[in-house]
Amino acid sequence: MSEITRWDYDGRGLEEGEVPDAPWPVIEEWVRQAREAAADDTQPGVHEPDAISVATVDASGAPTVRTVLMRYLTPAGPGFYTNLESRKGTDLAADPRIAATLTWPALYHAIRFTGRAEQLPRDIVAEYFDSRPWGSRISAWASDQSRPVADRASLEAAEQRYAERYPDHGRAGDVPVPPFWGGYVVHVDEVEFWVGQASRLHDRVRFTRTGEGALDDPSVWTRERLQP
């Protein structure tokens, strides 16, 4: 067995009196901290603060996890955009149950979400798509996401075809939204906050949904501390 390198954790703990009655204020604050740390050259280790690991199951129940970028976050839930015909899209069409985790090791923070995925409205999808760089919009057309491709050259040839079809004139509407491209928001049923603590005696606080409402509605959440 190779030598194991170990670090002790030193996150700022979650004390009962400081935890609100709904999960949204903590989500909002931790995401803000991660984004600020990523923009601060003196804070190493946070490079992609919106990276979120997303787990789905297919029609047979087999799980898959991948990391995407969280490009939607409101009290309705976290969300992301993708090819709806990708592996995750077909999984969610068969079974909308989903789990997702934001992890910031350098800050000793993680947030775990479980719930079900719901497609975002097309106007929200279009607004985000139009805000993307031109090259990213072209790539959305060029990639049959999750499907095999013969080689890199074939992928680049497809990109070139769409670049010629939709040239860059510096306008949002230069590239239309593909009909197979969209987004999902996680309707969260459970949120868990994790803070790394010394000697692995970590803080874990879980919120569980008890009714319909947003992440900022205290009336629809119960809160409990979990052992590490």
User: Residue 208 belongs to a domain with what CATH number?
Assistant: 2.30.110.10
Residue 29 counted as domain residue: yes
- Does 22 score more than 80 pLDDT? yes
User: Which residues participate in the annotated binding site?
Assistant: 6-9, 71, 81-82, 87-88, 128, 132, 136, 145-146, 194, 200-202, 204
Tell me whether residue 160 is in a domain.
no
Confidence at residue 195, expressed as pLDDT on a 0 to 100 scale? 94
Cα–Cα distance for residue pair 43/192, rounded to 1 Å: 25
- Given a cut of 80, whether residue 101 has pLDDT beyond it is yes
As a whole-number percent, the residues of the chain with pLDDT over 90 amount to 81
pLDDT at position 12 over 90: no
* Domain assignment present for 4: no
pTM for the model: 0.92
pLDDT over 90 (residue 131) = yes
* Residue 218 reports pLDDT greater than 70: yes
Binding residues for substrate: 6-9, 71, 128, 132, 136, 200-202
pLDDT reading at 129 higher than 80: yes
Residue-number span of the structural domain to which 214 is assigned: 16-128+179-226
* 5 pLDDT above the threshold of 80: no
DSSP structure class, residue 2: P
Average pLDDT (54-59) is 95
Q: In total, how many domains does the chain have? A: 1
144-175: burial string, b at 16+ Cβ within 10 Å, e else: ebeeeeeeeeeeeebbeebbeebeeeeeeeeb
For residue 162, being part of any structural domain is answered with no
| Domain contains 173 | no
Contact 39, 33 (CB under 8 A): no
Is residue 150 in some structural domain?
Answer: no
Position 134 in a domain: no
Instruction: Provide the pLDDT confidence category of residue 102 given band limits of 50, 70 and 90.
Output: very high
| Given the residues 32, 200, 206, 223, the one annotated as active site | 200
pLDDT given at position 11: 65
The pair of three-digit structure tokens given for residue 21, joined into one six-digit string: 């009655």
19 vs 99 pLDDT, higher one: 99
Residue 6 banded pLDDT, cuts 50, 70, 90: low
Q: Which amino acid is at 108?
A: Y
Q: Kindly state whether residue 7 falls inside one of the protein's structural domains.
A: no
- Tokens representing 33 are 């901290």
- Over residues 195-217, the mean pLDDT reads 93
Active site annotation includes 116: no
pLDDT band of residue 8 (cuts 50, 70, 90) is low
Token pair in block for residue 199: 């000697």
Measure Cα distances from 111 to 63, 74, 139, 145 in Å.
20, 15, 30, 27
Is it the case that residue 72 has pLDDT exceeding 70? yes
